[in-house]
């Protein structure tokens, strides 16, 4: 069965809805924690369920290299392999090809991309068909089309040529897609050019994907440019399909995305922050390695309902981080993901109540108060 | 309240009993996982409870350095600090002083030991009184006397002088002990010398501790020498107090210890093995990083009731280990500790049934079958 999106409420452009998948239904807008290598770093699946996390993202490129798509397929697919029975979205590998190998030689042709493995330098060739074939084997609930993630800034000529090629790649991927239980999203490119975003959105929509992603963001552009990229694309996307903004996890960006009509987000931010000792709080981020927390026996956020805040003090988590004990990053990962999941819960409630703008302003005023 | 030991059954020298503490009663013989820095590496307390682990050990030396005894005391003690409400035993720091700094200058005097921190080289001075004062602040259920862990081999003269000094240190520590809710164990030294082991045991017992440990083992001696060290000491220990063999976690050594009348064991082995990809099985240890497990979709041990074996395959855990994902070591830590906890459950049942020898032989025959 393919996914089914239902739009339930609108508040301005902001959308409240739900998305039905073969592994459960969840409400949108939703944030997806990233399980790069078939594990959300440091966490077990039960810990994600405990914090009401509904869908995770796994990385096609990384799983292609390790353990390999065939190993996952023989295990019975990604859900079975990693003991996670909730919905999973896999990316296409496009972003990793362009970010992990950006300082090394890569060679983009009409056929696909030649590049070298970030692990051992081995020569690799990824095509739209292969990306889909790998994702078919991983058997995620939602697969992504293989695209070129264009660097910023890029010339109009390059962006136009690349955007047209990504459309051809999307068509090839759609043709190659054989997994009947897996939905497939198209990705809108077009860089920072308004007409190319419109062109890419309209042409992608013509192919009738199960959902649409806005790609080529978080590649070095300013916030204003990113928000404009969303504006320039999203108005051409159909209302009855989910819209996904890739690689976005900063609360302010999530709020700006929701305001523009985005339904799904993903980012490594909460787990990456955790590994560096940073915690989200309603008053902004704090770094628990800071000496000021050495004898702070309060929870990270006494109002937070996560396992870490219910049972551990900042002093203890700081001790674990300083001593390089992995339980520290684990507790912070739980807290940081819960923070974003809770943010999405509050966002959804505010949309239902027609109070999204009010919620956004109040949240950001508090969240950014310490900066001022 | 001090601990209370009750001897319930004997089978040869092997003992089945129970030990009542302020944080719960558990059956003996028991294995204690090591929570060096107030965390059993990679695990949360709930995961220890899930596998029926009853008492953990924490390291006085490590907690003295990080986060410091006063921080733990201000948190309300170790149980509160680390969110663990089961029994905790703290060692004295003696073993760490002699193992972590063995290649650096250390200076043992009657007063105590001058040595350098393994973290930053800072000069430190640990005395019997300070070790007890730190443990009083940590507020563990059971504290250990500060001793000199003698290297092997050592001369008779050195061993005699050191053993006599350890007795004087034990008396000083006992005098300094102020925590009424904390029990205190004496440690029998004497190296590999029969008469010194007897002397140390008899003199330590005269001081009337709440339990007794056999120290100075696992310092480079052969297995036979270690077993003889136990034999030479244990017969002089009272039957109504628990006996603890420090630093032992190999199944064969645990069985030999139980056979000689030991009630408690501790070792970093299960968690250290896990971090290196090794798993205990009833047919001996296996290393999951081995390529043969790449497509092995069976559990580590299909009969094991631990979370890792109930939900994950060897192939998945191998993938996590190869990709350096911390969930791998976490799953293996759960499995390896459960293996030893289950071994102790089986040992206790065999003692109750008067079948310890039979159990020991059958276990070792199977456990060592792959070596042959």
- pLDDT band (50, 70, 90) for residue A29: very high
Give the relative orientation of helices A156-176 and A194-206 as an angle to the nearest 10 degrees. 10
Which chain B residues have a beta carbon less than 8 Å from that of A38? 316, 319
Interface test with B, best of A325, A329, A331, A332 (most B CBs within 10 A): A325
- Is residue A350 over pLDDT 70? yes
**Yes or no, beta carbons of B83 and A327 under 8 Å apart:** no
Would you call A357 exposed, middle or buried from its count of C-beta atoms within 10 A (0-12, 13-18, 19+)?
middle
Mean per-residue pLDDT for A238-252?
97
Query: Quick check: is B120 catalytic?
Result: no
Number of helices (H), then strands (E), belonging to chain B: the values are 15, 16
Question: Which phi and psi (to 5°) does residue B89 adopt?
Answer: -110, 135
How far away is chain B from the Cα of A54, in angstroms, using its nearest Cα? 20
- Is residue A282 over pLDDT 90? yes
Which chain B residues have a beta carbon less than 8 Å from that of A42? 326-327, 330
Mean per-residue pLDDT for B124-141?
97
- Is residue A230 over pLDDT 60? yes
A291 C-beta neighbours (distance < 10 Å), count: 8
Query: Which candidate, B146, B163, B34, B157, places its Cα nearest to that of B97?
Result: B146
Would you call B65 exposed, middle or buried from its count of C-beta atoms within 10 A (0-12, 13-18, 19+)?
buried
Q: Which one is predicted more confidently, A171 or A117? A: A171
- Pick from A101-105, B55-59, B173-177: least confident: A101-105
Domain at A4-267: CATH architecture: Alpha-Beta Barrel (3.20)
**Yes or no, beta carbons of B315 and A71 under 8 Å apart:** yes
Q: Quick one: CA dihedral B220, B223, B224, B230, positive or negative?
A: positive
pLDDT at B101: 66
pLDDT at B96: 87
- pLDDT band (50, 70, 90) for residue A99: confident
Contact of B264 with B28, CB cutoff 8 Å: yes
Instruction: Give the Cα separation of B227 and B27 in Å (integer).
Output: 23
Percent of chain A with pLDDT over 70: 98
**Mean pLDDT of all residues in chain B?**
96
Q: What is the pLDDT of residues B241-259, one digit of tens each?
A: 999 999 999 999 999 999 9
Q: What is the pLDDT of residues B46-79, one digit of tens each?
A: 999 999 999 999 999 999 999 999 999 999 999 9
Percent of chain A with pLDDT over 90: 92
Q: What is the ipTM of this complex?
A: 0.97
Structure tokens at B214: 């056999």
- Is residue B124 over pLDDT 60? yes
Residue of B nearest to A36 (CA): B325
pLDDT at B99: 80
Which chain B residues have a beta carbon less than 8 Å from that of A44? 307, 327, 330
Question: Which phi and psi (to 5°) does residue A5 adopt?
Answer: -105, 135
- pLDDT band (50, 70, 90) for residue A96: confident
pLDDT at A225: 96
- pTM of full prediction above 0.90: yes
Instruction: Give the Cα separation of B185 and B215 in Å (integer).
Output: 11
- Is residue A110 over pLDDT 90? yes
Interface of A with B (CB under 8 A): 37-39, 41-44, 62, 66-67, 71, 74-76, 81-83, 294-295, 297, 307, 311-313, 315-316, 318-320, 322-323, 325-327, 329-330
For chain B, the structural domain boundaries read: 4-267, 268-372
pLDDT at A97: 84
pLDDT at A123: 92
- pLDDT band (50, 70, 90) for residue A371: low
Structure tokens at A92: 């296409």
Contact of A196 with A152, CB cutoff 8 Å: no
Mean per-residue pLDDT for B312-322?
98
Which chain A residues have a beta carbon less than 8 Å from that of B75? 297, 313, 315-316
Gyration radius of chain A over CA positions: 20
Determine if the peptide bond prior to B29 is cis (ω within 30°): yes
pLDDT at B218: 87
Q: What is the pLDDT of residues A129-173, one digit of tens each?
A: 999 999 999 999 999 999 999 989 999 999 999 999 999 999 999
Contact of B185 with B152, CB cutoff 8 Å: no
Instruction: Give the Cα separation of B227 and B216 in Å (integer).
Output: 12
Q: Quick one: CA dihedral B113, B116, B117, B123, positive or negative?
A: positive
**Yes or no, beta carbons of B294 and A38 under 8 Å apart:** no
Mean per-residue pLDDT for B190-208?
98
Query: Quick check: is A253 catalytic?
Result: no
Instruction: Give the Cα separation of B262 and B15 in Å (integer).
Output: 7
pLDDT at A219: 87
Instruction: Give the Cα separation of B288 and A144 in Å (integer).
Output: 32
Mean per-residue pLDDT for B132-146?
98
Mean per-residue pLDDT for B265-285?
97
pLDDT at A369: 87
- Is residue B100 over pLDDT 90? no
Q: What is the pLDDT of residues A48-67, one digit of tens each?
A: 999 999 999 999 999 999 99
């Amino acid at each position: 069965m393919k996914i089914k999106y239902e739009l339930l409420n609108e508040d301005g452009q902001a959308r409240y809805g739900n998305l039905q998948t073969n592994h459960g239904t969840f409400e949108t807008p939703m944030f997806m924690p990233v399980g790069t290598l078939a594990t959300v770093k440091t966490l077990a699946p039960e810990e994600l369920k405990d914090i009401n996390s509904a869908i995770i993202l796994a990385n096609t490129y990384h799983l292609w290299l390790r353990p390999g798509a065939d190993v996952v397929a023989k295990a019975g697919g990604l859900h079975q392999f990693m003991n996670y029975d909730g919905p999973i979205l896999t990316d296409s590998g496009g972003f990793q090809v362009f970010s992990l190998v950006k300082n090394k030689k890569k060679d983009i042709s009409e056929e696909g991309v030649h590049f070298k493995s970030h692990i051992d330098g081995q020569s690799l060739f990824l095509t739209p068909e292969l990306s889909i074939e790998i994702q078919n084997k991983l058997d995620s609930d939602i697969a992504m089309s293989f695209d070129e993630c264009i660097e910023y800034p890029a010339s109009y000529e390059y962006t136009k040529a690349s955007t047209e090629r990504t459309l051809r790649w999307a068509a090839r991927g759609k043709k190659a897609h054989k997994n009947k239980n897996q939905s497939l999203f198209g990705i809108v490119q077009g860089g920072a050019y308004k007409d190319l975003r419109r062109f890419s959105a309209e042409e992608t929509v013509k192919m009738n994907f199960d959902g649409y992603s806005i790609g080529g963001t978080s590649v070095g552009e300013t916030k204003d440019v990113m928000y404009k990229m969303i504006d320039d694309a999203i108005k051409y996307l159909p209302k009855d399909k989910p819209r996904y903004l890739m690689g976005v996890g900063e609360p302010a960006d999530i709020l700006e995305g929701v305001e523009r009509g985005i339904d799904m987000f993903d980012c490594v931010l909460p787990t990456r922050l955790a590994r560096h000792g940073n915690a989200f709080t309603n008053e902004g981020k704090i770094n628990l390695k800071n000496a000021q927390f050495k004898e702070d026996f309060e929870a990270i956020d006494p109002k937070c309902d996560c396992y870490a805040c219910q049972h551990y003090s900042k002093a203890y988590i700081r001790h674990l981080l300083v001593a390089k004990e992995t339980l520290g990053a684990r507790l912070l990962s739980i807290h940081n993901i819960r923070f974003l999941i809770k943010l999405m819960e509050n966002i959804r409630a505010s949309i239902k109540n027609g109070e999204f703008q009010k919620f956004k302003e109040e949240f950001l005023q508090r969240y950014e108060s310490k900066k001022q």
